[in-house]
Amino acid sequence: MFGLMVRFTCKDEDSAEAFDRLVAETIRKIETEEPGTLVYAVHGVDGQPLQRIFYELYRDRSAFDAHEEQEHVRRFLDARDELLASVEVDRLNLHAGKGTTG
């Protein structure tokens, strides 16, 4: 299993709304076209209205690589930059967990 936790900080409220629309479009495709993507969850952060946390779990590294090559993901990656003030990415290695095969 391979995972990521990503913190996105949007530039302003308008950017946050546009980012949320972009995410909703992208997730619809992830749900239907990516069997190796096990969890792709987007969270708002209490008290931080411009921040979003993505929690992503993939079957393995090759499933993540396939995710990154998808047209809908490429579109998301290209469109997001104008909406964001910052991006922080943590790559995760599963040690133990409920609902996982690790």
CATH number for the domain including 48?
3.30.70.100
Position 95 scores a pLDDT of 83
Residue numbers of the domain that contains 14: 2-91
Q: 4: buried, middle or exposed (CB in 10 Å: 19+, 13-18, 0-12)?
A: middle
- Residue at 97 is within a domain: no
- Residue at 10 is within a domain: yes
pTM, 2 dp = 0.90
- Residue at 101 is within a domain: no
- Residue at 100 is within a domain: no
Contacts of 14 (CB under 8 A, 6+ apart): none
- Residue at 73 is within a domain: yes
- On whether the CB atoms of residues 58 and 37 are closer than 8 A, the answer is yes
Give dist(CA 83, CA 74) in Å, integer: 15
Number of domains in the chain: 1
- Residue at 43 is within a domain: yes
Gyration radius (Cα) of the chain, Å: 14
Position 35 scores a pLDDT of 96
The string of pLDDT tens digits covering residues 50-74 is 999 999 999 999 999 999 999 999 9
First to last CA, the chain: 7
